[in-house]
Chain A
Amino acid sequence: MRDALIVGAGPAGLSAAIAAAGSGNGMRITVLDEYPRAGGRLLGQLHQEPDGSWWNGIKEASQLMERALRDGVDIRTGVSVTGLERNGDEGWTVWTNEGLFQAKRLLLATGAAESAIPVPGWTLPGVMSIGAAQVMTNVQRVKVGNRGVVIGMNVLAMAIVSELRLAGIELAAIVLPPKNALSGHASDPNRVFNSLLRFAHMAPNPMFRWGASLIRPSWLQRLVVAGYPGSGLRIWDTPLQLRRSALEIVGTDSVEGVRVAKITPDGRVVAGSERFVEADFVCIAGGLYPLAELAAVAGCPFRYAPQLGGHIPLHAESMRTPLSRLYVAGNITGVESAKVAIAQGAVAGTAMALDDSGGASIALSAELERAISRVKQVRREAVIQFHPDIERFREQMYLEQGTILRYRIN
């Protein structure tokens, strides 16, 4: 039997495998991932760091994979986990398309999925989630189209817009989703503008960055939204149209364009303002939520955390869950950057190694504390803050659970 099984070969899963395999316990570790290539969604990431260097997800992922392989980790791709079951107190059995896997400890590092915002016409070929366009562009290196419209404005959308532009793909506009029961605040210009300010420091245009730093007061924000130009402000040479909403995606066998309309600062359509925007692809950007079904199947308790993208499995700062021998790391614990996921993976891997030693290793206990501090440091230094309240929420959640879960040998 394996000492540990890790579901997900993304930044968190690979980093956990490296930490556990390198712990000196001689742990036998298998990592499963259903994508044909290891790296998870880190593979598609490509952005410039504040110091001007490029964060190239393909490179980062292959470095993690090489380190894991060097430490003897067994990485299996193309394996989909379909179910799991606790083996009494002995560990876990996991069902996959490649048969059963058993292990003494199980780490779920399944990452996040994209929230969809249904828009009339969204089932047409050529309409895709913005993450789909990212993977096609940066990982598969295939053009998703010639001229696109992005529906939805959030941190993920803006990061991927810059990546599409880098690959030479033209974007006609970034507009808001239509106001409906599912779009929520994503179709409200005032709310969207407020959230845009949080990552305005990433903008390529110094005027945007400077302007954003001046418009903190909410009355001023409302004034800016009220006076926002209908044609939008250009970012990465693409009009960011805060006061326009998509009404319908149009096409016969694939996307031919999008019907858009002007909207009031609170998101209501202005009658008679409708226009047709030609496009051959559309990206829907609804944001991310933790992909946590396997934790639910395992029977792990959950907690609702809107700051972290939705329902997350209850866990301690040590990445232990209340269930014996079950751990979580990465975006399954809340949507944050890949760097935070890597740091969380190191915590989970070290916690598994410590628990594997029966909790006896002083060196591993000290290493676990260091790894936990490192997560907080990486979170504070993150270029992209997915939500302003993440740190406060996590502190409170970990505090409420007390010290039992954090220090319990799992």
Chain B
Amino acid sequence: MTFGRIELHPVLGKLPDAPLIEVVFDGQRLFGLEGESIAATLLANGIRKLRVQEESDNPRGIYCNIGHCMECRVSVDGFSGIRACMTPVKEGMTISSGIKLPLPFRHTPPSERSGGA
């Protein structure tokens, strides 16, 4: 499967020149173009899976690409919940995909629960 960029467009012309930006995604060094989103850099490098659903471990990627759906959230330099589609890549960024989270209260039957609410 090949992804990559649309270098030459019949109406929009040549891909505008932009400086290369180096980022790290889950330990892997990647190059993006200045001005593009994290989601664009990752997709251009063939990466579609941005996280897993925290409970089920199912893979997730971009859905709306304009900041509405929150499906593309990743961690950037230690901050979680960052929308990959809305955040421009910056030199030296460390990006991590979302992982499955422990769910200690998941299987506690109501009768065994303690406390309020």
A135 to B85, CA, bound (A): 10
Within 8 A of A (CB), among B13-29: 15
Are the C-beta atoms of A125 and B1 separated by less than 8 Å?
no
* Contact A168-B6, Cβ < 8 Å, known A36-B37, A125-B49, A254-B49: yes
* A323 on the B face (CB < 8 A): no
> Which of A36, A58, A80, A280 contacts B88 (CB under 8 A)?
A36
Chain A interface mostly helix, strand, loop or mixed? loop
Is the pair A123, B53 in contact by a Cβ cutoff of 8 Å? yes
Q: Is the CB of B66 within 8 A of A135?
A: yes
Contacts of A123 in B (CB 8 A): 53, 58-60, 71
Q: Please give me the residue from chain B that is nearest to A58 by CB atom.
A: B12
Task: Determine the distance from Cα of A129 to Cα of B64 in the docked complex, in whole angstroms.
Answer: 5
In the complex, chain B residues whose CB is within 8 Å of the CB of A127: 61, 63
**Chain A hits for B87, CB < 8 A:** 36
Q: Is B66 in contact with A131, judged by CB distance below 8 angstroms?
A: yes
Count contacts between A and B, CB distance < 8 Å: 118
Name which residue of chain A comes closest to B58, CB basis: A123
Contacts of A409 in B (CB 8 A): none
Nearest CB to that of B43 among chain A residues?
A142
- Given known A36-B37, A36-B86, A54-B11, contact A142–B63 (CB-CB < 8 A): no
Chain A positions within 8 Å of B68 at CB level? 113-114, 291
Known contacts A133-B65, A143-B3, A167-B9, then 5 further A-B pairs from the complex at CB < 8 Å, ordered by chain A residue: A128-B63, A132-B63, A132-B66, A254-B59, A254-B61
* 29 A-B interface contacts by CB (under 8 A): A35-B66, A35-B67, A36-B88, A56-B12, A114-B68, A123-B58, A123-B60, A125-B48, A125-B49, A125-B60, A126-B61, A129-B63, A129-B65, A129-B69, A132-B66, A136-B39, A136-B43, A136-B62, A140-B37, A141-B6, A141-B9, A142-B4, A142-B6, A142-B36, A143-B5, A144-B43, A167-B9, A168-B6, A254-B49
B residues lining the A interface (CB < 8 Å): 1-6, 9-12, 15, 35-37, 39-40, 43-44, 48-50, 53, 58-69, 71, 85-88
